[in-house]
Structure 1
Amino acid sequence: MDPRSEVLLRQAELFQGPLLIAGAPADGLLGQLPAAHAWTWHAGDQALLESRFSGRSHYGVEVPAVDFEAAVLFLPKSRELAAYLLNALASRLAGRMLYLVGEKRGGIEGAAKQLQALGKPRKLDSARHCQLWQVSVDNAPLAKPLESLAERFELALEDGPLQVISLPGVFSHGRLDKGSALLLEHLDGLPVGHVLDFGCGAGVLGATVKRRYPQSRVTLLDVDAFAVAASRLTLAANGLEGDVISGDGIDAAPTGLALILSNPPFHTGVHTDYQASENLLKKCSQHLQRGGEMRIVANSFLRYQPLIEGALGNCEIRAEAQGFRIYRATRG
């Protein structure tokens, strides 16, 4: 069980009434708190929770429409996302209890200071390298619409400026990361057809390809509900059409693809996780059509070339700069 859940269950008597657990991990916590509902923005966690606790887990970027008398927020990695979630929950909890739990290495002590605007927070427990905080929401805020927290920026590309709209919690929020910037410089000669932007984030790659290759069908896929929402906003801001879907990894992707394009993720919360990226590399051939291409950017220290060669039988390094490499491979 997640250590944060273990800390919560040390105070289980506080959580017997209708409870919303925001950012709930995909463990057995709901089984120990029968009156609780989970809210998650991670498609993989949602699938696992729904399979075990049907009807008690909700996926999306807005507070779910369920009744709750108290809420617990599992602290996310992003400070901006934490601020949005605390506001969204506190706006529904006037005069009631809001709890915050997180790992010390994840910044729980600093995050707990945000509770001071709501009331008088107090630390309830410290164990398993985690802390649990509580505040009575005496100063309930007005809910801030998610789009009001969007970061908008413009990319100067060869074929004109591209508008990007990013939301709290989305990878590289409010800026273009170095890896994607390098890949944007090497989108020449792409095959036309059905294109997948895997781990789409705010939709920069997918939007760029759709504008540059308008005859291609573009699907954008991400495990994170905030990234899915941001990608839809980015496409709309540029007058572009694309299919934006949520799912946990390459298994959720369409087949018969002409191109897989990606700056694949390798972080989950405060911990490093390569599983989604490695699954992409190992299973890409199942989703590419014959002659289809995969073009990705990755940190130079990651040993991706052997994985790509193992899956597709070939791999070339198209470019290398600032600690990143672009790999290209085709399915025979």
Structure 2
Amino acid sequence: MLTKEQVDRLRDPIDFEAEVAGRTLRFASTWGLFSPRAIDEGTHLLLEHIEVGPAADCLDLGCGYGAIGVALAVLAPQGHTLMVDKDFIAVDFAERNARRNHLSNARALLSNGFDQVPADLRFDRIASNIPAKVGKELLAILLHDAHARLKPGGRLYVVTINGLREFMKRNLKEVFGNYDKLKQGAHYTVGMAQRGD
């Protein structure tokens, strides 16, 4: 059993640094968020294979504490990056991590998928580390909404556990009409679909 002092220490934010997008970035996280002590293997794999122009407008869908979104804001300093999550704690930490890395071009928003994203916003890049238990209904909503919110030629990048790669491939082909497997690692697969012009 933990002592009161040990439990109190667990309440403190978890601080760590990570090499992301060619920079050493600082993150704060907390217990209850996904991969709170370090950027997970799947996110690292996604960030190694995403192509982002310096003026791209980006969305981190299901941002957690903002690892993907912060990296996108670094890669696209002349663009704007929006990070969304349905967990208000995640949004708070994502916003905090944008500030602690001095990124004025990134912000976080509480949103269940796209439901609170302003209707007029369109993106060049949408990226997501899709949870293994997302469910086919929510996945269908997210993929159709992502397609609708991409600019012509815009790309959706996703990383999933390998067990979901065929499922994701089928769904992306159904919604976007195309799919490109960028990398299959030991545990995760990065896929990409592009909206037509």
- TM-score normalised to the size of structure 2? 0.85
Q: Say yes or no: does 1:296 pair with 2:158.
A: yes
8 Å contact from structure 2 (residues 18, 38) kept in 1 = no
One-letter amino acid matched to 1:251: D
Name the counterpart of 1:331: 195
Equivalent of residue 284 in structure 1, options 146, 164, 173:
146
Q: How many angstroms does 1:277 deviate by?
A: 3.4
Cα RMSD, aligned residues only: 2.5
Name the counterpart of 1:197: 60
Q: How many angstroms does 1:266 deviate by?
A: 4.0
> Within 1, Cα distance between the matches of 2:21 and 2:90?
25
- List runs of 5+ in structure 2 lacking aligned partners: none
> Within 1, Cα distance between the matches of 2:136 and 2:161?
12
One-letter amino acid matched to 2:161: N
Secondary structure of the corresponding residue to residue 152 of structure 1: strand
Q: How many angstroms does 1:291 deviate by?
A: 1.1
> Within 1, Cα distance between the matches of 2:110 and 2:132?
17
Secondary structure of the corresponding residue to residue 83 of structure 2: strand
Q: How many angstroms does 1:190 deviate by?
A: 4.6
> Within 2, Cα distance between the matches of 1:174 and 1:274?
29
> Within 2, Cα distance between the matches of 1:220 and 1:190?
18
- TM-score normalised to the size of structure 1? 0.52
Q: How many angstroms does 1:258 deviate by?
A: 1.2
8 Å contact from structure 1 (residues 201, 222) kept in 2 = yes
Q: Say yes or no: does 1:245 pair with 2:104.
A: no
The share of aligned pairs that are identical, in percent, is 26
Q: How many angstroms does 1:157 deviate by?
A: 3.3
Q: Say yes or no: does 1:229 pair with 2:92.
A: yes
Q: How many angstroms does 1:165 deviate by?
A: 1.0
Return closer, same or farther for 1:151/1:145 CA change in 2, 3 Å cut-off. closer
8 Å contact from structure 1 (residues 282, 307) kept in 2 = no
Q: Say yes or no: does 1:160 pair with 2:26.
A: no
Q: How many angstroms does 1:158 deviate by?
A: 5.4
> Within 2, Cα distance between the matches of 1:291 and 1:247?
25
Name the counterpart of 1:206: 69
Matched residues, number: 189
Q: How many angstroms does 1:296 deviate by?
A: 1.0
- List runs of 5+ in structure 1 lacking aligned partners: 1-112, 118-140
Q: Say yes or no: does 1:309 pair with 2:173.
A: yes
